[in-house]
Amino acid sequence: MFRARVRRHPDAVAVVFGDTELTYAEVDARANRLAHALAGRGAGPERVVALALPRSPDLIVAELAVLKAGAAYLPLDPDYPAERLAFMLDDARPVCLVTTGELAEAVPDGAGTSRLLLDLPEVAAEVAAGPGTDPDVALDVRNAAYVIYTSGSTGRPKGVVVTHSGVAKLVATQSERLGVGPHSRVLQFASPSFDVAFWDLCLGLLSGGRLVIVPSERRVPGPELADYAAEHDVDFMILPPALLATMPEDCTLPAGATLLAGTERVSAELVARWSPGRNMFNAYGPTEATVNSTLGECPDDPAPGSTVPIGRPDPGTRAYVLDDALRPVPAGVTAELYLGGSGLARGYLGRPGLTAERFVADPFGPPGGRLYRTGDLVRWLPDGRLEFAGRADDQVKIRGFRVEPAEIEAVLGGHPSVAQTAVAVREDRPGDRRLVAYVVPAAGAPAHRDEDREREQVGEWKRLHELLYTAVASGDGGLAESFTGWNSTYDGRPIPLDEMREWREATVGRILSLRPRRVLEIGVGSGLILSGVAPHCESYWGTDLSEEAVTALRGRVGGVPGLAGRVELRAQPAHDFGGLPRGRFDTVVVNSVAQYFPSADYLAQVLRSAVDLLAPGGSVFVGDVRNLRLLRTLRAAVEVTRHAGEIAPEAVPELRSAAEQAVRWEGELLLDPDFFPALAQSVDGVSAVDLRIKRARHHNELSRHRYDVVLRTRTDDVPDDARQARELGWGTDVADLAALAERLAERPPLLRVNGVPNARLTPDLEAQRALWPGEPLPEAIDPEALWSLGEESGYTVTATWSGDAADGSVDVVFAAPGVDPGEVYRPRGGAGAAPSAYANTPSGFRDAGALVHALRAHLRDRLPAYMVPAAFVPLAELPVLPSGKIDRAALPAPDYAAQAASRRPAPAAGPARLSDRALRARAELLCGVYAEVLGLPDVGADDDFIELGGDSILAIQVLIRARAAGLTLSAGDVFRNRTAAALAAAASTGEEPAPATGDTGGDVEEPLVRLGDADARRLAELPGGAAEVLPLTPLQEGFLFHTLVDEPSGNVYVVQHVIDLRGPLDAEALHRAMQAVLDRHAPLRAGFVRLDDGRIVQAVPGGRVAVPWREVDLGGLGPAERAEQAAAVAAEENARGFDLERPPLLRCTLVRHDRDHHALVLMFHHIVADGWSVQVMLRELLEFYEHPGTADAGTRP
């Protein structure tokens, strides 16, 4: 095929590498010369030639040369460990290794393998002197083309031998389904040790197009790769999902190009980002079927969290979804995928047993045909596409349950805050196997506005604020000083009261300067602004999404004389303007709430609606806006503050990574100042944007990183004075305050000073320089010094951000009395950009701890408890192999202690502490027990045992250790009280005085279980009442605990016995015998009931309890179908649980095979019978069946 392309277009460009271009004729001639040299070294059909070459045209030429010589090439990645390379060379036994002098050092010697170093002068001369014609080689399509090594389940790599027969189906796929042809420019991104590189070769050179090789230094997710693709007009790419997911938001790929993503699960979110404007396909195919087997065309807007199908089989490929008996299953049924066709590989090199296991006889094709058993679980969709469901051999066993990690990954991937996920089983301590979820949080703007997700985020903030305002309502700070929750981002401590008062006074003063009379405040909260502004107004309306805030504020306002009659409060979210009078308000206040909005589009919607409510000439005040330009500076300062002390050089990369991660995962909405001028251009009626930094003498995050904006609707003409301002540059025209005072002494009407370094930000900028070294900081000025200078000089001062600075520098305008400064903020430019271009995309979670909590709850709502991972590890990106697949060996061990700390509330805001010494001592003891059992260095009194990775087995260990330490506890206590503090309160030591019970008289037998009146009434209402109420035995406590923790449906300890019965059988008599067994043993009739105080008891009904019994007749079926249906009945019974409160916890199904063959399926819960009990039950069952009268005899031993 390549020879035909050379003859047809010899002068067409075939290979591109940076600025280097080779034509088809040049590539062909080079490959032929090298092929002759290889043939002279033993290369030929069924021989292997190893290649270890850098990414370059030489690598492509060498691959073609090996194929022209009739041999199969074996790509070696020099970055692989030497041990792995040595194994591959020993296993494949190549006749020759083609490499360079530099790379040869990384490749071990192989027995019988000669070396051809292309950069040696004598070798280069030999190759150059060789003939440029094709070698004369007798080649068959069944000969090997290449050998690719993939990971083996035993840790031993396996070499897949792929023949030339699969090339035809690849070419058919690329031409018929992908439209690849001579016009195509194919990006060669894949590592040569990955089989996709072979398809790249076919796509580029067997289509007559050009192959654009990505240099090594540009094979990174970022502008390096994106710009390279654009520079070379690439229109076809195969890229791994892991790379696409980590491409920065400002990077794009060529519009109109065809993009294939494969090797890993492709998420709907990934498709939503990359499919619009391109032809995107979800590509699926194992190496054993020649690279690719199915293609799924991707939609532009898949539903969030949906599964992206892998599509339909390629030309020449047959796909079967088969059960364990190799029978096709209907659409919608999940089973294993088998592939057939000419593209199947020969098998595994030197592994006949493994080849026979994976390449099985084809029951649907001609004799001798084969199918490849992929090990992948899929299902047919009604429209004929395939949907990937996971790996059949990825199942793991956790605490006795079979778990499919892919199922957990799929559910996690459906959460809107998750971009990528991997679930693994770790055994970091011998015998302690735990599920661990690794998640890459979603970051960056979605392809389309997702209003459903926005509502979820608003709901999350609502829940948070309800809790906050509950605390506010119980405080005593008064209406004007409800500062609960105003904590520093730097250290988490409350911002000092005098600093908060200054902030409030400045904000109130700024609003009052607008001369408000009729005000609407959106996000009124606890009334901090209302208390200062409302007394000066005719009416003051306030809305808040928190009902708790509004209720509490109504109570406070009602206690302030003169306010109650003019204040109207409503509970409704910011975007809901229902019931608010249009044209009534002269001022709308949106203060310190925009950061909680889910998106810039949501904020823009709110502000547009607010402008619509204004009376003519009104204004919208947007206060306390967080500055996006300074986010990295803030996060660097936070990390340096938390580190405390001098930063060692080795600590810098970790702190830098933490700061970058915090920027990426920022949960609040931040706005570049340019957002507001851009918004004003799209909102009718807004005539001016007045954007200013805040007045403040205290330096804190509020004064350093936030600003205020007024959107004005007045149409007053800006005076000429504003356009004739005299301008100076700080550091060039003026160097200090004294020089500036001299300029002001000249009495200009307007003086503007640009680029004044901001002393408020100096500590944060120094912290940023500690992590990202840069130029020394200039001497900075406190903005308040500029205001003081203006007052001394008789000028009004307005300060705003410098539009072209990222370091928080300010521009300052000095206006003489009576002179309007106009709009002082000057955006950087780029007119026409949408407002959302100047905002971040909030992550949807407040911090990593909140994300973990949300994901755990997400899984608990959708999966059984045993499938919820013990730990969640947020990562900036998942580690990947050169092939683009996830490098599971590089996934880090979870830090359970860190997760505990992240969940531990700060002392000031945490739950009530234990009040007496004894309880504190117990809690301390139990903290030590938890830490010992969980393998953690430290556990806090309020850490949740289950969320730290505890399970039912570990909980029993807690119980044992606690009892050994002298605490009296039951398994139920451990389950109900999952923190050390709560469990300490439930425990006793035996030293406390018993509760008074009154004089019972020595002759009255104490009941085994004391019941309150409510408990007695509830038990009496149970079917059959409660003739006996008994405590649980320790063994029953253990079974109950396992049942409740591990499986809410209660079927963890459901036991099944299938008793094979031969000979004639009287079904009615057997039924009566089983009823007699149940009547005879009270424990078999017991149910398990939770009392009001949390204790669980076993209650035996007073009346007769019928044994659940059903009969299934399979006599009309054939032997094979009978066996299948009998197994299905047993499986169905095994899957059903028991309701522990509804006795009996026993049931029977009699399956009739024929007249002389029956099977009794006996089901019971382990809590009512153990192995010894079963023998008694069966012995009595058979005795009562044979001798019905003995059922009424006395109690048996």
Is the residue at 869 inside a domain? yes
Q: How far apart are CA 709 and CA 713, in angstroms?
A: 13
Asked whether residue 532 falls in the same domain as residue 675, the answer is yes
| Rounded CA separation 21/15 (Å) | 6
Q: Is residue 1027 part of a domain?
A: no
CA dihedral defined by 549, 555, 557, 559, rounded to 10 degrees?
Answer: -160
Decide which of 929, 957, 986 is a domain's last residue.
986
pLDDT of residue 747: 94
Domain count, the chain: 5
Three-state DSSP class for residue 652: helix
CATH of the domain at 401: 3.30.300.30
**Domain finish residue from 715, 730, 749:** 715
Q: Do 556 and 694 belong together in one domain?
A: yes
Of the candidates 520, 369, 547, the one whose C-alpha atom is nearest the C-alpha of residue 466 is: 547
Per-residue confidence (pLDDT) for residue 1092, from 0 to 100: 66
**Residue 872 near residue 902 (C-beta atoms within 8 A):** no
Q: What span, in angstroms and rounded, lies between the C-alpha atoms of 992 and 969?
A: 14
Whole-number Å distance between alpha carbons of 810 and 990: 69
pLDDT of residue 16: 96
* Model pLDDT, residue 998: 36
DSSP letters, 171-184, are: HHHHHHTS---TT-
Whether residue 131 sits in one domain with residue 2: yes
Given this model, what pLDDT does residue 96 score?
96
Cα 523 from Cα 597, distance rounded (Å): 11
Question: Residues in the chain, how many?
Answer: 1197
For residue 257, give both structure tokens. Answer: 């190009």
Tokens of 813: 């305008």
Ramachandran class of 594: left when φ > 0, alpha when ψ lies in -120 to 50, beta otherwise: alpha
Contact status, residue 224 vs residue 218, Cβ threshold 8 Å: yes
Question: What residue type is assigned to position 437 of the chain?
Answer: A
**Joined tokens for residue 548:** 């708790």
Q: Position of tokens 């940023």?
A: 768
Give the chain's radius of gyration (CA, Å): 38
pLDDT tens readout for residues 1-50: 888 899 999 999 999 999 999 999 999 999 999 999 999 999 999 999 99
By residue range, what is the domain housing residue 49? Answer: 1-139
* CATH number where 1132 lies: 3.30.559.10
**Interatomic CA distance for residues 607 and 685, integer angstroms:** 12
Which contiguous run of DSSP H or E holds residue 953?
helix 952-964
Report the 10 Å Cβ neighbour count for 701. Answer: 18
Q: Reduced to 3 states, what is the DSSP secondary structure of residue 207?
A: coil
Instruction: Tell me which residues of the chain have a pLDDT lower than 50.
Output: 153-155, 400, 471-476, 718, 720-722, 900-915, 952-953, 990-1006, 1045-1050, 1193-1197
Coil vs helix vs strand at 625: strand
The CATH number that applies at residue 541 is 3.40.50.150
User: Which of 104, 139, 174 is at the close of a domain?
Assistant: 139
Q: Report if residue 1042 sits inside a domain.
A: no
3-state secondary structure of 305: coil
Say if residue 1112 is in the same domain as residue 1186.
yes
The pLDDT assigned to 779 comes to 94
Domain co-membership, 548 together with 424: no
CA-to-CA distance for 1138 and 1146, rounded, in angstroms?
Answer: 8
Alpha helices in 665-778 (DSSP H): 675-682, 701-705, 720-723, 737-744, 762-771
Cis bond leading into 248, ω under 30°? no
CA–CA distance, 457 with 598 (Å, rounded to integer): 6
What φ, ψ does residue 1187 adopt, rounded to 5°?
-135, 80
Q: What tokens appear for 1128 in the block?
A: 């299905």
Buried b (16+ CB within 10 A) or exposed e, 646-681: eeeeeeeeebbebbbbbbbbbbebbbbbbbbbbbbe
Q: Strands across the sheet with 1157-1165, in order?
A: 1054-1062, 1157-1165, 1146-1154, 1109-1113
Return the pLDDT at 1045: 46
Same domain for 868 and 930, yes or no, is no
Q: Record the tokens describing residue 939, joined without a space.
A: 């556990």
Backbone φ and ψ of 377, nearest 5°: -95, 130
Sheet holding 114-117, edge to edge: 114-117, 96-99, 48-52, 72-75, 144-150, 158-163, 347-348
Whole-angstrom distance, CA of residue 111 vs CA of residue 88: 12
Q: Is residue 1084 part of a domain?
A: yes
Same domain membership, residue 541 and residue 430: no
Are 853 and 903 in contact, with CB atoms under 8 Å apart? yes
Cβ neighbours, 10 Å, residue 153: 9
- CATH number reported for the structural domain that contains residue 92 in this entry: 3.40.50.980
Is there a single domain that holds both residue 1130 and residue 1187? yes
Its pTM surpasses 0.85: no
* CB-based contact 190:238 (threshold 8 Å): yes
Q: Is 273 domain-assigned?
A: no
**Same-domain status, 964 and 1060:** no
Q: Is residue 173 part of a domain?
A: no
Please report the DSSP string for 1088-1132 in residue order: EEE-TTS-EEEEE-SS--PPPEEEEE-TTS-HHHHHHHHHHHHHH
- What is the pLDDT, as a whole number, of residue 228? 96
* 1175 shares a domain with 1080: yes
Q: Are residues 947 and 869 in the same domain?
A: no
Place of tokens 């807007």: 301
Query: Does 243 map to a domain?
Result: no
Q: Are 545 and 551 within 8 A, CB to CB?
A: no
Per-residue pLDDT at 476: 44
In Å, how far are 31, 65, 66 from 135, measured between CA atoms?
A: 10, 10, 11
Q: 302 Cβ partners below 8 Å, 6+ apart?
A: 268, 271, 272, 308
Q: Is 992 exposed, middle or buried (0-12, 13-18, 19+ CB in 10 A)?
A: exposed
pLDDT score of 227? 94
Residues 967, 1104 within the same domain: no
Beta bridge partners of 440: 420
Give pLDDT, residue 615.
Answer: 94
Phi/psi for 285 (5° steps) reads: 175, 130
Domain assignment present for 231:
no
Query: CA-CA distance, 409 to 941, in Å (whole number)?
Result: 32
